[in-house]
Structures are given as structure tokens and as C-alpha cells.
Amino acid sequence: MQSDNPTAAILVIGDEILSGRTREGNAHHLAQVLSATGFDLREIRVVADDHDRIVAAIRALDGSLGGDYDLLFTSGGIGPTHDDITADAVAAAHGTTVEIHPQARAILQARCDRMGTELTENRLRMARIPVGATLIDNAVSGAPGFSIGNTHVMAGVPEVFRGMVDWLIPRLSGGRPVQSQSVEVRRGESDVAEDLRAVADGFPDLSLGSYPFQDQSGWGTNLVVRGLDADRVAQAMAALKDRLGL
């Protein structure tokens, strides 16, 4: 699919994802949001809680550091425990250091005061922000994410992550949302492959895909047309249906 939208990558950080202990859903959620708001997601990468690997991944993905994409979104590793090392790795990737951010500390202190708890050293770890970063609001649990360069760092807890996404995305400059149409046929992929290829050749600016499924009625295939121009998507779908005799 031809696109002039800003490009993006998602970096998911955490041993618990790679071990299978935690089912990853943040990238799936953000992918849908990015598609709907005019960002062209090109890559999703998962790395362990390893400082050097996180640094290398950020440098490879963040365009402001010479990486491949305009924007990088990360999930995970900014909590209160010893293995939450994302802030340090992001700082290293961007050539800066980490310090207690006054506003982040005030946010955490206010939350502790409301809850009648102490702002312990472990809780204060969540106020450690790379120098030069700006904060991402967290309306769910208080502890903020942050942005530096083109890297936007968010929590791994799904509810918190979604809240941060809701706050952040409207503040970024997107492009044209992806338009799509789909049709379900009771045929296997191999039976529709030639027709799909023929239409795809006629609409090189669009993305055409086939996705097989099986239900109580047997096998079928969902055919999907995606692009940035709604009229072109509609034309391609009409051509595809014509070839399939629908």
C-alpha cells in the first residue's frame, strides 16, 4: 500500500512477554489506533529486560537517532521494581541521563497523599525520567510515561497503557486514516488467489489480502482491501467482487 503517512514502530519490552507468562495485547491495541489516526505501522519488535538490547532496538527504530521510522512507541519496563530498566535504556540510547523529574515526583506524592501511603524509594523510581524528556499523562495510576526524541515510552499494564495512548495520540501529527473494505467468501485461499492477484496488479497503490478461517459451516476466506483513498478501495472491491461473481 502506497502511503505518505508518518511511519511508526512498536517496541514491547519484558521477559514476561517472551516467556509466555503474559499475553501481549498492547501492540495489538496501538496498531488499531495508529491505523485509525493516520500512522503507518511498519514493525513490532519484542525484546527482553536487557539494557543493551533495549538501547540497540531504540537506536534501530527511532528516526531521530538514525533509525528506520518516524515514531517509536514502547510498552513496558517503567514500573517500581529492579527489572524496570526502560528509562535508563532510553536515556542511554538518546545520549542523556536519568534523574528524578520534579513534576513526576509531585504527581506521585499527590497520589500517595490521597491514598494515605508513603512515597517510598521504590515508588519514587517511577519518577526517574531521562533529562530532556516531556511527560505523558497517566490518568489511571499517576506514574507518567515520557517522550524524548521520537520515542514515546508507556507502561506495560494494559489499562495504563491505553490511557497513555488516549492522551498521547491526539497530540501527534498523523496523516490519513486507513480505509478498508472486506468480503467473506465460502472458498479456500487457493481458489481465490488468482482473482486476488489480478485485482492487486490493477491497484498497486492498495493492499489486498486474504485471511482463511474455519467455522461450523466449513472453510472460508475473508478478502480485505486497504488503502488511504476510499474511492480507490471501493473500486478495487467492486472489481474483486466482479471477478468472483459476487
- Give tens-digit pLDDT for 165-223: 999 999 999 999 999 999 999 999 999 999 999 999 999 999 999 999 999 888 999 99
Question: Are residue 111 and residue 223 in the same domain, yes or no?
Answer: no
- Out of 171, 188, 203, pick the residue that ends a domain: 171
pLDDT at 226 over 90: yes
- Out of 111, 144, 171, pick the residue that ends a domain: 171
Question: Are residue 120 and residue 24 in the same domain, yes or no?
Answer: yes
The CATH number that applies at residue 240 is: 3.30.70.600
Q: What pLDDT does residue 2 have? A: 86
Question: Are residue 110 and residue 222 in the same domain, yes or no?
Answer: no
Say if 185 falls within a structural domain.
Answer: yes
- Segment 11-60, tens digit of pLDDT: 999 999 999 999 999 999 999 999 999 999 999 999 999 999 999 999 99
**Residue 80 and residue 118: Cα distance in Å, rounded?**
14
Say if 103 falls within a structural domain.
Answer: yes
Question: Are residue 224 and residue 112 in the same domain, yes or no?
Answer: no
The CATH number that applies at residue 33 is: 3.40.980.10
Question: Are residue 164 and residue 236 in the same domain, yes or no?
Answer: no
- Domain with 219, as residue range(s), is 179-244
Contact between 153 and 78 (Cβ < 8 Å): yes
Say if 1 falls within a structural domain.
Answer: no
Q: Give the number of domains in the chain.
A: 2
**Residue 37 and residue 78: Cα distance in Å, rounded?**
26
**Residue 123 and residue 125: Cα distance in Å, rounded?**
5
Using N-to-C axis directions, what is the helix angle for 86-93 and 51-61, rounded to 10°?
50
Q: What pLDDT does residue 1 have? A: 83
Question: Are residue 93 and residue 206 in the same domain, yes or no?
Answer: no
Contact between 220 and 187 (Cβ < 8 Å): yes
Q: What pLDDT does residue 180 have? A: 96
Q: What pLDDT does residue 217 have? A: 85
- Segment 76-115, tens digit of pLDDT: 999 999 989 999 999 999 999 999 999 999 999 999 999 9
Burial of 141 by CB count in 10 Å (0-12 exposed, 13-18 middle, 19+ buried)? middle
Question: Are residue 90 and residue 200 in the same domain, yes or no?
Answer: no
Question: Are residue 52 and residue 125 in the same domain, yes or no?
Answer: yes
Residue 79 to residues 104, 106, 170, 198, Cα–Cα distance (Å): 13, 17, 25, 51
Question: Are residue 71 and residue 148 in the same domain, yes or no?
Answer: yes
Question: Are residue 125 and residue 42 in the same domain, yes or no?
Answer: yes
Q: What pLDDT does residue 238 have? A: 98
Question: Are residue 135 and residue 33 in the same domain, yes or no?
Answer: yes
| Residue 1: closest CA among 179, 239, 175 | 179
Half-sphere exposure of 98 (CA within 13 A, CB side): 18
Residue 51 to residues 5, 64, 93, Cα–Cα distance (Å): 31, 20, 10
Q: What pLDDT does residue 124 have? A: 95
Say if 2 falls within a structural domain.
Answer: no
**DSSP alpha helix (H) spans, the chain:** 15-18, 26-37, 51-61, 86-93, 102-115, 121-124, 158-168, 189-202, 230-244
Residue 42 gets the label, from left (phi > 0), alpha (psi -120 to 50) or beta, of alpha
Question: Are residue 90 and residue 147 in the same domain, yes or no?
Answer: yes
**Residue 232 and residue 201: Cα distance in Å, rounded?**
13
